[in-house]
A and B are shown apart, each in its own frame.
Chain A
Amino acid sequence: MTKKTIWVIDDDPIYQIIINKIIQRSEMFSTITTFKNGKEAIDALHDTILYKLDNTEVLPDIILLDINMPIMDGWEFMEKMGLIKSKFSKQIIVYIVSSSIAAEDKNKSKTYSDILGYLSKPVTISDLVLIASDN
């Protein structure tokens, strides 16, 4: 089984350090890329489309997406990605990872077909293993 690539989009620097550790510990993913907000991530996606013809290698298999971020939040990122996903050579699976436990956010996430799950922080190794093995 080939290891998958994962993107983490979150503005919390501590969380970024922690999630890096956890992902490494899980040994389920080949590469980890982190972004501070949706804008950075969507720009990276754009770049991938523009400069790499075969983007299978670069594009992530899984994205862990926070909701509340400056510049571009999780929801906006989803809208933007929806516009360009037809250009992707493979399907990208998104998991919402948020400290919010509001039902409102959970329900909203269900309206996006690309969002496969909603994880409440803290994220554990087993969560990641589950995600990785599910796909």
Chain B
Amino acid sequence: MLWCYIIFIYIYFLKIELSQSFQLVQMSNKKYPEFISWFLNKPKTTGFITFLFLSYVVGFLVYQQYQLIKEDEQREMNSILQIVNQNLEQSLKNCYTTTLTLALTINDKGVPENFDYVGKKLIESNNNISAVQLVPNGVIKYIYPLKNNEAAINLNILAAPHLKGEALKSVASQKMYFAGPLKLKQGGMGIVGRFPVFQNNKFWGFSAVIIKFNTLLKSSGINTVDDSKYYFQFSKKNPVTKKEIFYLPNKSDFSKKYHISTTIPDGDWKLYLISKHPNYFYAQILIPGIIGLILAALFGILIYTLLKIPEELQSLVNIQATKLFNSEIKFEAIFDQAAVGIAHIDSFTGNFIEINNQYCKLLGYSQQEMKERSFQSITHPGDLKEDLMNLEKLRDGKIAAYSMEKRCYTKSGAIVWINLTVSPLFKKGKKVTTHISIVEDISLKKEAQKLIKKSETRFKSLFEDSPIPLWEEDFSKVKNYLQKLNLVNETPETVSLYLKMHPDVVHECIALVKIIDVNTMCLHLHKVRTKEELISGLSQIIDKDSIADFTKQLIAITQGKKQLIIDTKIKNKEGEYRNVNLRWNVIRGYEKTLDRIIVSTEDITDRKLSENIILKSQQRIESLINTIDGIVWECDAKTFSFNFISQKAEKILGYNAEEWLASKTFWADHIHPEDRKWTLDYCTLKTKENLNYDFEYRMVAKNGAVVWLRAIVNVISENGQAFSLRGIMIDITTTKEAEKDLNDSFNLVTEQNKRLLNFSYIVSHNLRSHTSNIASIMAIIESSESEEEKDEMIQLLKSVSNSLNETMIHLNEVINIRTNIGLVSESLNLQQYLETVQRVLSEQINSKDVSISTIMPDNVMVNYNPAYLESILYNIISNSIRYSHPERKPIIKIKWLMENDMNVLQISDNGIGIDLVKNADKIFGMYKTFSNNSDSKGIGLFITKNQIDAMGGNITVESEPNLGTTFKIYIQ
């Protein structure tokens, strides 16, 4: 770091030199006017412009050259063509003369005279002509020489389709016209010049000459022309098709070639002169053109290259300048913003020449203040001597640089520790006049060092004075050894197995553990006097019995664990075994190497002893609890969540302790549903009162059985607040059942007693009313004086005797019912019985117009005594009819329904009703009647009730006076 700073300092002092040269480059740029420098700055453009300019010049020159050559050529060709043309025209003119002459042979009658003679002469005078003709009215009549030309005689040219057009043309223009070249009837190609002859302004016919085409050409001089350079072509537009037809050889298309032409109107011909070398002109100008272009391009590139050089130089300079500029900024930033203090110091006086902010800040002075000081004035006297000695050596060139830690005074007089690095500013060889000193605040480091030293001391004393035996051990060799054996990161099972198979490895490992230090407690534990006795090795401490525990440490190492806690045993020097809690901890920072391990071996022998005692007493209590014939338990006072339940729970309720404790609401959930609410409410209330309590309730066992329990609860409270409940649940199911049986039989007896009493009362009352009547009658008879009265009394006695008899029968009946004599139950169809009763009562039903509706499923079967069933139905339905309301139509409704698991036969009427407020206790009594009805005996309902009771059922009544009565018969 510091060296970096020094390098920057050098750069800083070198920068001046560089920046000067940079400025020179900058100035050289300014000498040209702006217009030129524009070009100079754009070499590419300038090069290109040069190239364009030169190309243009070359192009111009070449073009001029081309024009000159072309003109020469044209001139030559024109003159050739001109000559040929003239020759041709001359030949044709001669022909004209010939035809004219021939025409003159025609006399006024239109007949030629001396044709053969004139013809002969004409042909002789004109070599070109091969034959002459006279064609009166378009029909060839005269030919000279006739020889070889016979074929043409009598040919009507105005009728022949290929001759007609041209012939008519010449008639129309009244001029001579040369037809052809065409194939002659006589053979070969020829031209026929036809001169239309008019006599008295009337077309007579033609005077014609035939010129052999070849002869014509020969006479034109075509053949004399230099055929290495040019050739001719002769063409005519077909008068019919308007297509141009060429007649000379070499008919290849010459439109691309250079050519000139002239037209011969006499035959509508076109004569072409064609240059044989089409690219001749281009060849003439191509090479100089190309050379010119190349030169232009080269020159353009040259200019570009020339201009490019200064620009490249310029950009190089710019890059360098930017770099320099950047480093300068960087340097300034580093110098000013550096986290270390940097100063430029006079090597002789020690004065500060330049100093950065950090340096000033370090000492609390301003830059100005620092510059007025020397380093000697701020250095602590204790360090000054060393500093000055070092500086002298530096000045003499004995050392290249030095570095030291020293103390400095700040402006406020405080001492700061700094790390000073001093180096000369200029290179070797030169004398040192200034140097650079870099200072770093190391007060914090010094402080930290102090703290480390302190904490080290503290650690040592903690280690030494710890009440727990501590070992500082080095397991690095063990780890290396295990690594070599490839045991690291194997599965614990593999390692364990390997170590079991190789006890020598374990012993080797024990030997490899290096004990660095032990504390005083270790000495006490192992009953040794000096640390050396323990430090010499683990092997003497580890007993056969504790090898297994050491193996656990080895496994932990292979698994990369940093901590291991095990209970193990050691044997001290006196041969006494001690239980220790061994904690094996890797010190942070040594996880990889295991150089430093702290092992604590707390002596837990006494603790183990007490633990054993506690365990034994717990076991004793548990076995005691389990012998109690009841469930011993403990639960939370607020939530009733159980935290202990004795084994008896399983025997009594079928649920074992695990099942019970698994759910927090197990107890509440398994209370009998009918007891749950009050049990929980009662427990909550009593617990709140902080009083011990006991109560009886039911729980539902695993097999669904209901178990009666007596709970005896002890409230355990702390600070008056109940926090826990303990107690015992005793199975009282058998007691409860016995109690219930007892209660049931007691109730039965009470009921029977009551009935008996009631019966005896009935008997005495009903019999007494008769006996008293008898007694009274007897008394009257005895004292009667008239026979008449006696007879009257005897009659009365008779009726009393009848009543008595009737009463006796009733009583007998009731007794029979009560004693269940001859009571046989059968499965009976209820519907059928209802019908039977209605049939018996049909007379009353009809006379009172009673409507009876029955709502019940078909085939309802009841297990009943047939006589009772009939009697019950008869009594109730006849009652309903008897006590029907006089003002309305009697309606009886019979329903079959279920109520609380009991079958109910409900019979309702809309009769007069009974005031139950007054008569509730009498309605089913004997001889209780409620109306003036003379046939009310007060026995029907009494018997009905007794019969229903005897069948194990019950009867209830609901009634409103004037509205109606409803009886409900409960059938088992």
Which of B779, B928, B938 has a CB less than 8 Å from the CB of A122? B779
Question: A130 interface residue, CB < 8 Å from B?
Answer: no
Cβ–Cβ < 8 Å partners of B932 in chain A: 36-37, 70-71
**B339 in the interface (beta carbon within 8 A):** no
Interface assignment of A33: CB less than 8 Å from any CB of chain B: no
Tell me whether B780 and A121 are in contact (CB under 8 A): no
Q: Which residue on A lies nearest to B930, using beta carbons?
A: A70
- Whether A18 lies near B768 (C-beta < 8 A) is no
Q: Which of A19, A76, A122 has the most CB of B within 10 A?
A: A122
Decide yes or no: A12 and B765 within 8 Å by CB, A21-B780, A68-B927, A71-B931 being known contacts.
Answer: no
Stretch of B526-534, B545-553, B769-777 that contacts chain A: B769-777
B936 CB-CB contact with A under 8 Å:
yes
CA distance A123 to B769 in the complex (A): 11
CA distance A120 to B783 in the complex (A): 21
Residues 747-788 of chain B, each 1 if its beta carbon lies under 8 Å from chain A, else 0: 000000000000001001100110011011101100100000
Known A22-B780, A100-B765, A102-B761: A14·B773 in contact at CB below 8 Å: yes
Residue A56 is within 8 A (CB to CB) of chain B in the complex: no
Q: Which residues of B contact A121 (CB under 8 A)?
A: 768-769, 772-773, 776
Judge if A25 is at the interface, Cβ distance under 8 Å. yes
* B769 & A18 in contact (Cβ 8 Å cutoff): no
Q: How far is the CB of A96 from chain B (nearest CB, A)?
A: 14
- What separation, in Å, do the CA atoms of A4 and B552 have in the docked complex? 126
Bound Cα distance from A51 to B697, whole angstroms: 70
With both beta carbons as reference points, the residue of chain A lying nearest to B765 in the complex is identified as A100
Contact A18 B773 (CB under 8 A): yes
Asked if residues B931 and A101 are in contact (CB atoms below 8 Å), the reply is no
A36 to B927, CA, bound (A): 15
- Residues in A with CB closer than 8 Å to B927 are 68
Chain B CB within 10 A, most for which of A17, A100, A101: A17
CB distance from B334 to the nearest CB of A (A): 126
Specify which of A12, A37, A70 lies most central, judged by the most chain B CB atoms within 10 Å of its CB: A70
B796 touches A18 (CB 8 A): yes
Taking CB atoms, residues of chain A closer than 8 Å to B800 are 14
Q: Which of A37, A71, A99, A124 has the most CB of B within 10 A?
A: A99
| Interfacial chain A residues near B21, Cβ < 8 Å | none
Known: A15-B773, A18-B796. A99 touches B768 (CB 8 A): yes
Bound CA span A132–B776, Å: 19
Contact string against A for B residues 916-953, beta-carbon threshold 8 Å, 1 for contact and 0 otherwise: 00100000000111111000101000000000000000
**Closest A residue by C-beta to B783:** A25
The 8 A CB mask of B207-223 against A (1 = contact, 0 = none) is 00000000000000000
Mark each residue of chain A from 51 to 67: 1 if its CB lies under 8 Å from any CB of chain B, else 0.
00000000000000000
Give the chain B neighbours of A124 by CB distance below 8 A. 776, 779
Contact of A18 among B761, B780, B783, B938 (CB under 8 A): B780
**Residue in chain A with minimal CB distance to B769:** A99
Q: What are the residues of chain A within 8 A of B796 when measuring CB–CB?
A: 14, 17-18
Query: Shortest CB–CB separation between residue B941 and chain A, in angstroms?
Result: 13
Q: In the bound complex, do residue A100 and residue B773 qualify as a contact, i.e. CB atoms below 8 Å apart?
A: no
| Residues B764 and A101 in contact, CB atoms below 8 Å apart | yes
A70 CA to B928 CA in the complex, in Å?
Answer: 7
B598 to chain A, nearest CB (A): 100
Smallest beta-carbon distance B263→chain A, Å: 168
Are A122 and B776 neighbours in the complex by a CB distance under 8 Å? Answer: yes
CB distance from B141 to the nearest CB of A (A): 183
List the A residue with the shortest CB-CB distance to B918.
Answer: A76
Interface set, chain B 607-663, CB cutoff 8 A to A: none
Given contacts A71-B930, A71-B931, A121-B769, contact A22 B776 (CB under 8 A): yes
Interchain CB contact under 8 A, A70 and B773: no
Beta-carbon contacts under 8 Å, A14-43 to B: 14-15, 17-19, 21-22, 25, 36-37
Cβ-closest chain B residue relative to A105? B765
Q: Tell me which residues from 60 to 115 in chain A have a Cβ below 8 Å from any Cβ of chain B.
A: 68, 70-71, 76, 99-102
User: Is B127 part of the contact surface with A, judged by Cβ < 8 Å?
Assistant: no
Please tell me if the beta carbons of A99 and B772 are within 8 angstroms of each other in the complex: yes
Contact B931 A70 (CB under 8 A): yes
**Contact status A70-B768, CB under 8 Å:** no
A121 to B771, CA, bound (A): 9
Cα A21 to Cα B789 with chains together (Å): 10
B774, closest chain A residue (CB): A122
B799 at the interface (CB under 8 A from A): yes
In the assembled complex, the CB of A19 is this many whole angstroms from the nearest CB of chain B, namely 8
Q: A28 CB to closest chain B CB, in angstroms?
A: 16
B777 cross-chain contacts in A, Cβ below 8 A:
18
Q: Does B803 contact A (CB under 8 A)?
A: yes
CA distance A121 to B777 in the complex (A): 12
Please tell me if the beta carbons of A122 and B930 are within 8 angstroms of each other in the complex. Answer: no
B515 CB → nearest A CB, Å? 108
A66 to chain B, nearest CB (A): 9
* Cα of A47 to Cα of B188 in the assembled complex, Å: 185
Give Cα A15 to B938, complex, Å.
19
**Closest CB-CB distance, B58 to chain A, in whole Å?**
160
Other-chain contact of B772, A17, A25, A122 (Cβ < 8 Å): A122
Instruction: Give the complex CA separation of A76 and B928 in angstroms.
Output: 15
Chain A 1-20 per-residue mask, 1 if CB under 8 angstroms from chain B, else 0: 00000000000101101110
CB <8 Å contact, A122 and B761: no
Q: Give Cα distance in the complex from A102 to B932, angstroms.
A: 26
Would A101 and B768 count as touching, CB distance under 8 A? yes
Shortest distance between the CB of B882 and any CB in chain A (Å): 13
Q: Which residue of chain B is the closest to A36 with respect to CB atoms? A: B932
The distance in angstroms between the C-alpha atoms of A41 and B557, with both chains bound, is 117
> Which residues of B lie under 8 Å from residue A12 when comparing CB positions?
769, 773
Is B936's CB under 8 angstroms from A70's CB? yes
Q: Which of B764, B765, B777 has the most CB of A within 10 A?
A: B765
0 or 1 for each of B321-354: is its CB under 8 Å from A? (1 = yes): 0000000000000000000000000000000000
Question: Chain B: which residue is nearest A70 at the CB level?
Answer: B929
Q: How far is the CA of A101 from the CA of B763 in the complex (A)?
A: 12
State whether B768 touches A100 (Cβ < 8 A): yes
In the complex formed, the residue of B with least CB distance to A19 is B776
Closest approach, in angstroms, between the C-beta of A101 and any C-beta of chain B?
A: 7
Question: A80 → chain B, closest Cβ, in Å?
Answer: 12
Which of B765, B769, B775, B928 has the largest number of chain A CB atoms within 10 A?
B769
How far does the Cβ of A89 sit from chain B's closest Cβ, in whole Å?
A: 30
Nearest residue (CB) in B for A12 is B769
CB-based nearest A residue for B800 = A14
CB distance from B757 to the nearest CB of A (A): 10
A101: which B residues are within 8 A, CB to CB? Answer: 764, 768
- Shortest beta-carbon distance from B915 to chain A in Å: 11
Measured CB to CB, the closest approach of chain A to B151, in angstroms, equals 178
> In the complex, A65 Cα to B936 Cα: how many Å?
21
Q: Taking CB as reference atom, which chain B residue is nearest A104?
A: B761
What are the residues of chain B within 8 A of A22 when measuring CB–CB?
776, 780
**Complex alpha-carbon distance, A37 and B938, angstroms:** 15
Which A residues touch B928, using CB under 8 A? 70
Distance in angstroms from B72 CB to nearest chain A CB is: 174
Q: Which residues of B contact A99 (CB under 8 A)?
A: 765, 768-769, 772
Question: Is the beta-carbon distance between B776 and A18 smaller than 8 angstroms?
Answer: yes
Contact assessment for A122 and B764 in the assembled complex, using a CB-CB cutoff below 8 Å: no
Asked if residues A14 and B930 are in contact (CB atoms below 8 Å), the reply is no
Q: Is the CB of A15 within 8 A of B769?
A: yes
Point out the residues of chain B lying under 8 angstroms from A125, CB to CB.
Answer: 779
The 5 A-B residue pairs with the shortest CB-CB distance, nearest first, are A121-B772, A99-B769, A70-B929, A122-B772, A99-B768
Q: For the A-B complex with A22-B780, A101-B764, A124-B779 known, give 16 more contacts whose Cβ atoms are closer than 8 Å.
A: A12-B769, A14-B773, A15-B772, A25-B780, A37-B932, A70-B928, A70-B929, A70-B938, A71-B931, A99-B768, A100-B768, A101-B768, A102-B761, A121-B772, A122-B775, A124-B776
Residues of B within 8 A of A (CB): 761, 764-765, 768-769, 772-773, 775-777, 779-780, 783, 789, 796, 799-800, 803, 918, 927-932, 936, 938
List, sorted by A's number, 12 A–B pairs whose CB atoms are closer than 8 Å: A14-B773, A14-B799, A21-B789, A37-B932, A70-B932, A76-B918, A99-B772, A100-B764, A101-B764, A102-B765, A121-B776, A122-B779
